[in-house]
Structure 1
């Protein structure tokens, strides 16, 4: 099922994941959207994270599922950044990848069928 996630990032300048090598390091909303879209469309972020695990071969391969049609866009709104993500990936995978990229700096505002 294709879902539209409506997310908010309070302070994009401080939105970083816990592992610097995997973390978002862009300069603005367009960079964030590109990083999120790439994380959903490709296995790059997952593969890098998996390689850092103590037992990479024990990592559930379903966490590496991708959506080549995922689309992300972001814009500054008031004092925060709004991020829209459309994908068929389940929330568990979206959450994992967002946490790798920007830590717990994001908030899910709404989710609807796309």
Structure 2
């Protein structure tokens, strides 16, 4: 069953993870949406992150979950960016991907079943 997450990036220029190798590179709502959608549909971001861990084989494989049908839309509202994510990926995995991409530069406002 899919879940819809309502996420805000208060300042797109500060929505960057602690490691530039995994961070958002976009500056606009559409770009943030595309990058997050790719991170949910494919395992490339997870695999790059896992490879940097001290013992990659010990990383919880459930963190690598993907959802080929995940969708993300983005809208600019003054200085902040609103993202609406629809996915079957568990919330803890979504949050892990967001921390890699945006660090602490995001907030979750609402969650609904689809």
- The structural deviation recorded for 1:34 is 0.5
2:12–2:79 contact (8 Å) kept in structure 1:
no
Secondary structure of 2:101 counterpart: helix
Residue equivalent to 1:101: 101
Indicate yes or no: 2:13 matched with 1:13. yes
How big is the shift at 1:87? 0.1
Per the normalisation by structure 1, the TM-score is 0.97
Aligned residues: 114
Aligned residue for 1:96, secondary structure, equals helix
Instruction: Give ranges in structure 2 of 5+ residues lacking alignment.
Output: none
Q: Distance between the aligned counterparts of 2:65 and 2:10, measured in 1?
A: 28
Q: Structure 1 residue runs of 4+, over 6 Å off?
A: none
Q: CA deviation at 1:27?
A: 2.1
**Which whole-Å CA distance do the structure 2 matches of 1:66 and 1:18 have between them?**
23
CA distance in 2, matches of 1:78, 1:28: 12
What is the TM-score when the length of structure 2 is the normalising length? 0.97
**1:77 matched to which residue of 2?**
77
1:111 and 2:111 matched: yes
2:15–2:105 contact (8 Å) kept in structure 1: yes
Segments of 5+ residues of structure 1 without an aligned counterpart are none
